[in-house]
Structure 1
Amino acid sequence: MTVLSPPRPRVARVATWIFFGLNGFAVGMWVVHIPSIERATAISHSTLGALLLVLGGAAFVGMQVAGPLADRLGHRRLVPAAGVLLGLALVGPGLAGSWWALGLSLLLVGFGNGALDVAMNSHAVVVERAYPRPIMAAFHAMWSIGGAIAAVVGAATLGAGVPAAVSLGCCGAFCVLASLVAGRFLIEAEPTPASADTDAAEPASTGAAPTRLVWLLGAVAFALMLAEGVANDWAALHLEDVLGTTTSTAAFGYGAFAVAMTVGRFATDRVAALVGPVAIVRYGSALAAVGLTAAALAPWVPLALVGWALFGLGLSGGVPQLFSAAGNLDTRASGALMAKVVGLGYVGLLAGPALIGGLTRWMPLNVAFAVPVVLCVFAVAFAPALTRADRSAG
């Protein structure tokens, strides 16, 4: 348990919203500029794919470094520092003129993004402990809002012919400034006297059982985020290749998924307060499995759109519950524990699109969707791990 002054958690909650929104905005601005940066550096699609793997690997390293640092240095130092690093790193891709310069830039972007991801999620758990109800899912919804704003801003700047160096430079400067301002309103976890007295007597999460529990939470996060990654890269292509729609109509596939996921994340906290995190993961994952199955088997576009929307709605609340559970296993090592779960989830997010792409060499795209459906069923089966996490934290 933690003791925090009443006004501070509300202010810290707003500051945490800002960091989640900034992270989504920064990542979104990089994504919308990928085609123009690819042309500016004169690299091939295969080279770009390799560089994106470099970015993903650097992000994973940043997550594992930031987790223990958050426990050691505190969130008020690490979260804004990671935000500043990501903002500064965003300038690099816009200035890159060769593949190696772009690769070095993406190393920094990936590391900063991974560090901020873990640091802000770890701080979100600290803020959530000060509230009488769950609030984690709304933070993740703000990430989605930031990405949507980036899509609009990026489309406007690209349409106006603004160079990528200028757009990304302004975005980076904004991230730096906002990180420095919002960082002043973050909070640290403070153990109550009772918990401090029992720290020495109860080594909360140093045993083998809690360690296995962390990896189990990470495995469920891997499954759900792999499914999310499949939707990000293959929803539109499914409508175009399997159902024969136009490119413009196919875009509604991902749109239905993304909108439903964002709305679901804003609603999840209220529902979780009533039914608990286990029900969110169990029934949400079941709904996601039904939705993706319906989309894969749908003979008509409207039914497929409904399926993708149900898929997004089902996935919307699960991952925030897993992150919150990991961060609460041991308040003294919240960042390090969360880094493991977030890192495994991120690996799934990266692996999903590539796995489906490989399977399409031997089977139709909609048949390959059986893999994320099975992983959603896996999440249904192991949702009770959240109950064990609550008992361990207690």
Structure 2
Amino acid sequence: MTIALSPESSTITGVVPEVLRRYRLAISLMFAIAGMTIGTWTARIPTIQHNIKMADAKLSICLLLLAAGGLLGMRAAGRLIDRHGSTTVMVLPSLALGGALLLAGHAPTWTTLAAALLTFGVLHGTLNVAMNAAAVSCQTAYGRPIMTSFHALFSIGGVAGALVSAACAHIGLSVADAFAAVGVVSTAAAGWAIHRLIPAPVSSPDTQESTATAAPAQRRPRTRILLLGVLAFSALISEGAAADWASTYLARLGATPAMAATAYAAFAASMTIGRLVGDRLTAAIAPAALLRGCGLIGGGGLALGLIGGTPATAIAGFACLGAGLSCVVPLLYSTAGGLDPARPGAALSQVAALGYLGYVTGPAIIGGAAMHIGLGNALLILPALATLLVIAAPVVQSSRGRHHRRRTNPRSHHTPVPVDGDDMTTPDHPIRTPEVTTDHSDHQVLELEGALR
């Protein structure tokens, strides 16, 4: 089945085609799968280390290979997406991710675990970029901000994976059995989602011609991509550091173990809540202003919490940090994916890779600084990094223009662009989607092949 979707202001009328809703649900499942699998693995690291009798140095090598695999997958995903499309690239890693998790759970030695984690990292990194590219396309087709809700599903999936792991440990289920259960669920969910994925929106012939003749530097300005990557790096350093050091910092303030665990819980909960309401904020607030607000809330709140020097103020500070960071990565990824609609993968993979590098190195950076200046002072690096979000906020400004133009001209009409030579403009086949105006085009077409199977 091939259906051409003509751009129309259905966002204003509240009409969204059912097939587009299914597409959004499928991508949401991909985000949940990615979060659930990584959350499942993270929660059982201490048990796996004990079972294999690994020294800390060998565990560090395994974690380093996991991070290296993620970076390799992210960098490779960009070219694959631009050549084959995000839908095609998502298929293999989403189906194989559960199997890689299963291999990690059954690894008898640290070397086999390292190989399994390298594979897991490559698959996870590839899926990460592909699903974000698909999310950008879906957002474009919707004609309104929905990116943050996808990332909320990633956060929820991560929490769900960690809770499942904790529950399995509580009832005495082995790591291998727990990972097998999660692997089966993730593979089944991926299989269901794949049948509801559709090719990403493509531009009209006029847009394709103008994009093809544009210089690469005009289509994907390197300076802007680098700046987006630096901001992602800074934001995800804070996320990684909070995950590893929040509870430790509270313990050093004299908090009980239960209260110390509350610090990261407050961070994760506020981030998830922020992402659940983030699309409404993105629709109501200009992106540069939203990014500045995120930097001020996250950085300022954490700084005040650390200066307060008590467990209660620290918990409040980490909650502010989570709320402030909640919308940052979705904003940055949306901007990167929209720099060149014809080739979204290249820019998005670079920004995602830099962000991921920040996430995996953040704990080490804070830990290294803590050895010299103390943990409390080292954590003040995070508010300092948040000031970059305030200073460089205009880098995301252009991603907002299309939403303003859509609202100021909600009744624009465009001639539908046929796909594959089919004339689908007859009254028998009208499906309307929101008018979308990108940096390069006022026309968008969705080619849906087999989406209703």
1:176 maps to 2:222: no
CA contact (8 A) 1:84 1:180 kept: yes
**Shift of residue 226 of structure 1?**
0.8
In terms of fraction of residues, the more helix-rich structure is: 1
Give the Cα–Cα distance (whole angstroms) in 2 for the partners of residues 151 and 199 of structure 1: 44
**Shift of residue 104 of structure 1?**
0.6
TM-score by length of 1: 0.95
Give the Cα–Cα distance (whole angstroms) in 2 for the partners of residues 199 and 333 of structure 1: 10
State the match for 1:12 in structure 2: 23
**Shift of residue 236 of structure 1?**
0.8
Q: Deviations over 1:268-296 (max 9, x none)?
A: 11011111221221110111111110221
List aligned pairs for 1:1-394, cutoff 5 A: 6-187=17-198, 188-203=200-215, 205-207=216-218, 210-241=221-252, 243-387=253-397, 393-394=439-440
- Report percent identity of matched pairs: 35
Q: Report the AA paired with residue 186 of structure 2.
A: C
Q: Secondary structure at the match of 1:362?
A: helix
Q: Which has the larger radius of gyration?
A: 2
Give the Cα–Cα distance (whole angstroms) in 2 for the partners of residues 186 and 342 of structure 1: 22
Classify 1:195/1:3 alpha carbon distance in 2 versus 1 (closer, same or farther; 3 Å): farther
Aligned residue-pair number: 391
Give the Cα–Cα distance (whole angstroms) in 2 for the partners of residues 279 and 183 of structure 1: 36
CA contact (8 A) 1:137 1:265 kept: yes
CA contact (8 A) 1:75 1:186 kept: no
Q: Report the AA paired with residue 232 of structure 2.
A: A
CA contact (8 A) 1:3 1:192 kept: no
**Shift of residue 389 of structure 1?**
6.1
TM-score by length of 2: 0.83
Q: Secondary structure at the match of 1:223?
A: helix
Give the Cα–Cα distance (whole angstroms) in 2 for the partners of residues 299 and 367 of structure 1: 11
Give the Cα–Cα distance (whole angstroms) in 2 for the partners of residues 329 and 349 of structure 1: 24
**Shift of residue 212 of structure 1?**
1.3
Classify 1:125/1:3 alpha carbon distance in 2 versus 1 (closer, same or farther; 3 Å): farther
Unpaired runs of 5+ residues, structure 1, are none
Give the Cα–Cα distance (whole angstroms) in 2 for the partners of residues 141 and 200 of structure 1: 35
Q: Secondary structure at the match of 1:295?
A: helix
Q: Secondary structure at the match of 1:361?
A: helix
Classify 1:124/1:209 alpha carbon distance in 2 versus 1 (closer, same or farther; 3 Å): closer
**RMSD (CA atoms):** 1.8
**Shift of residue 132 of structure 1?**
2.5
**Shift of residue 61 of structure 1?**
0.2
**Shift of residue 198 of structure 1?**
2.3
